[in-house]
Amino acid sequence: MRRIRQNFQFSECNLEVESKCNSALVVEIIRVQARSPVFKALLGGGMREGKEEEVEIQDVRAPVFRALLQFAYTDSLPEACRMREPHGTD
């Protein structure tokens, strides 16, 4: 078990979103890799980011990225992201 925890692939990573706002999110690498082919390639496919403990995510707002991570962890979106029926339709 100790060897697994020491292996970076099975540990945590800081994802820096909107770096000007100091919005770092800690994720479990194995979970986001299992839920997203993009994260699997980014963090486990031999890319430079897969070898770093902190990865900058560009071109996405922090609230949107948090919603994406919530979906990856729970299979649900925050209430504010859910689509609502237009008023007056049944």
Residue 82 lies in a domain: no
For residue 26, give both structure tokens.
């800690």
pLDDT in tens, 77-86: 887 666 665 6
Residue 76 has pLDDT above 80, yes or no: yes
The total of structural domains in the chain comes to: 1
Residue 70 lies in a domain: yes
Residue 47 lies in a domain: yes
Check residue 4 and give its pLDDT: 43
pLDDT in tens, 14-73: 888 887 666 778 888 888 888 889 888 888 877 888 888 888 888 888 888 888 888 888
Residue 20 lies in a domain: yes
Residue 81 lies in a domain: no
* Owner of token pair 């479990």: 28
* Owner of token pair 């486990």: 44
What is the residue type of 34?
A: A
Residue 86 lies in a domain: no
Report helix, strand and coil shares of the chain as percent, to nearest 5: 50, 20, 30
What CATH number does the domain containing 44 carry? 3.30.710.10
Residue 90 lies in a domain: no
Residue 15 lies in a domain: yes
Q: How far apart are CA 24 and CA 57, in angstroms?
A: 10
Q: How far apart are CA 49 and CA 65, in angstroms?
A: 17
Q: Give the global pTM.
A: 0.66
Q: Show the domain range for 31.
A: 2-76
DSSP per residue, 11-35 = SEEEEEESGGGTEEEEEEHHHHHHH
pLDDT band at 2 (very low <50, low <70, confident <90, very high): very low
- Higher-pLDDT residue of 61 and 3 is 61
